[in-house]
DNA sequence: AGGATCCCCCGCCAGA
DNA sequence: AGTCTGGCGGGGGATC
């Protein structure tokens, strides 16, 4: 169970990436039913820590790295420059993994996990600008480009900047269930869940945010998850050819129609597992899986636990 | 649990 | 030249 989170910083810390870690793990949201965590920002020599990018301000950090020794999760934020983490930091990261804690990197923070030898043989990712460099510097690392984050168990790496939030929300879900994760997301006013495999690029979200042509169809789908949904039907509903629909879908949503629909069905199934006592078979049909086997297959593949186990952990009667 | 069938979905290319 | 569309084919994943 996750109870204690430490974030490691040193000179060159980037405020946005550091800030999202503080926002995710440091805030008290107990009035919204979110467990309160012990949280600390730590640095090798407590005191002033310069931020990167010549932003003209410093942080005053109270805690030394010894404070990270009890953490269940040790986060390494992004720094200006990708090399040369202090040796004490690398030792802290290695010690965390050795004692069974998890480590999480945001953006170029993955390079420091690499320096600590924690990426060897593991799948990982970083900002799309740097995936090639990461793979070159750490040949043993299995770098996955173009995803938002990678959860390889003890080691979680996320892509550029804001994808760190997605990785954090993923961890909230994994540790505390979808209801808590949604409460955290709601407080931060971000979408509750973007799947890790989603593309880092969502072209039209940047290029023409006002022209979200698929929004009505997406909304319709989430209201009709229990029905059979073929791509041809959705394309017709969007008044496009199937080929154009699939292309626009990837551009706007960042994944394929079928993968997205499956992800929505799993999300709904998760909610129903937590909030109701309906049998898994019933939930499968309620969310549009033809057979319960399909739900179980996708659920265990993406969540790492069976629907029943998920309910035992996060359901109403869970202890 | 495995195999047949279905349906995505992506690369390719021609046309607007 | 450059962009967008949509039909086709095939391989592979999903479904039953």
Q: Which of A9, A135, A27, A23 is nearest to A67 (CA)?
A: A9
Residue A129 carries which DSSP code?
A: T
Residues within a 7 A CB radius of strand C: A 240-244, 247-248, 258, 262, 289-291, 293-294, 297-298
Q: What is the DSSP string of A45-67?
A: S-EEEEBSTT-S-EEEE-B-GGG
Whether A58 shows a pLDDT value over 80: the answer reads yes
Closest CA to A199 of A156, A251, A237, A245: A251
- What are the residue ranges of helices labelled H in chain A? 15-26, 87-98, 110-115, 131-137, 163-176, 178-188, 203-207, 215-223, 231-237, 242-253, 257-275, 280-286, 292-303, 307-314
Phi-psi region of A166 (alpha: psi -120 to 50; beta: other; left: phi over 0): alpha
Alpha carbons A178 and A120: distance in angstroms, whole number: 31
CA of A242: nucleotide with nearest C1' = C6
Is the confidence at residue A196, as pLDDT, over 80?
A: no
Is nucleic acid strand B under 7 Å from A292's C-beta? no
Q: Does residue A205 register a pLDDT over 60?
A: no
A157 touches A108 (CB < 8 A): no
Query: How long is the CA A308 to C1' C6 vector, in angstroms?
Result: 44
How many Å does it take to go from CA A44 to C1' B7? 56
Nucleotide nearest to A262 (CA to C1'): C14
8 A C-beta contact, residue A73 and residue A2: yes
Which nucleotides on chain B have any atom < 7 A from a protein Cβ? 7-12
Binned at pLDDT 50, 70 and 90, residue A211 comes out as: very low
CA–C1' gap, A130 and C5, in angstroms: 34
Give, in Å, how far the C1' of B16 lies from the CA of A258: 29
Give the whole-angstrom CA distance, residue A303 versus residue A50.
39
Indicate the SS3 state at residue A43: coil
| Cα–Cα dist A220/A214, whole Å | 10
Query: Is the Cα dihedral A126, A132, A136, A142 positive or negative?
Result: positive
Pairing state between β A123-124 and A155-158 = unpaired
CA-to-C1' distance for A114 and B7, Å? 41
Give distance CA A244 / C1' B2 (Å): 36
Q: Which residue has the higher pLDDT, A48 or A188?
A: A48
pLDDT band at A9, cuts 50/70/90? very high
DSSP A182: H
With the C-alpha atoms ordered A48, A23, A38, A87, is the resulting torsion angle positive or negative?
A: negative
Question: How far apart (Å, rounded) are the C-alpha atoms in residues A43 and A16?
Answer: 17
Straight-line distance from CA A65 to C1' C11, in Å? Answer: 52
- Confidence tier at A104 by pLDDT (50, 70, 90): very high
pLDDT, averaged across chain A: 89
Tens of pLDDT, residues A153-167 = 899 999 887 889 989
Q: Strand C: which bases are under 7 Å from protein Cβ?
A: 5-8, 14-16
What pLDDT, on the 0 to 100 scale, is given for residue A187?
A: 81
Is any atom of nucleic acid chain B found less than 7 Å from the CB of residue A259? Answer: yes
Amino acid A200: pLDDT: 67
For the entire predicted model, the pTM comes to 0.82
Strand B contact at CB of residue A230, distance < 7 A: yes
pLDDT over 80 (residue A85): yes
């Amino acid at each position: 169970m996750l109870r204690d989170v430490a974030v490691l910083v040193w000179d060159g810390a980037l405020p946005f990436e550091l800030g999202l870690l503080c926002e995710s793990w440091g805030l008290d949201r107990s009035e919204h039913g979110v467990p309160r965590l012990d949280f600390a920002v730590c640095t090798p020599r407590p005191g002033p820590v310069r931020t990167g990018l010549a932003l003209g301000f410093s942080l005053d950090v109270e805690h030394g790295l010894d404070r990270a020794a009890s953490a269940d999760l040790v986060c390494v934020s992004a720094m200006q420059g990708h090399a040369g983490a202090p040796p004490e930091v690398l030792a802290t990261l290695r010690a965390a993994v050795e004692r069974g804690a998890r480590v999480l990197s945001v953006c170029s923070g993955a390079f420091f996990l690499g320096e600590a030898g924690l990426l060897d043989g593991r799948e990982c990712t970083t900002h799309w600008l740097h995936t090639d460099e990461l793979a070159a510097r750490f040949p043993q690392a299995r770098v996955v480009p173009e995803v938002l984050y990678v959860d390889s168990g003890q080691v979680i790496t996320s892509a550029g900047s804001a994808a760190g939030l997605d990785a954090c929300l993923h961890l909230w879900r994994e540790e505390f269930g979808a209801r808590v994760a949604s409460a955290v997301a709601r407080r931060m006013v971000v979408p509750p869940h973007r799947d890790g495999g989603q593309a880092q690029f969502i072209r039209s979200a940047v290029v023409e945010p006002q022209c979200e042509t698929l929004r009505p169809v997406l909304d319709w789908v989430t209201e009709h998850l229990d029905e059979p949904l073929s791509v041809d039907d959705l394309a017709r509903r969007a008044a496009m050819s199937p080929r154009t629909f699939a292309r626009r879908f990837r551009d706007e949503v960042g994944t394929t129609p079928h993968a997205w629909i499956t992800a929505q069905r799993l999300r709904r199934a998760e909610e129903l597992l937590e909030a109701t006592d309906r049998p898994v078979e019933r939930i499968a049909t309620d969310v549009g899986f033809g057979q319960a086997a399909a739900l179980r297959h996708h659920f265990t593949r993406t969540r790492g636990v069976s629907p029943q186990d998920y309910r035992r952990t996060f359901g109403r009667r869970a202890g």
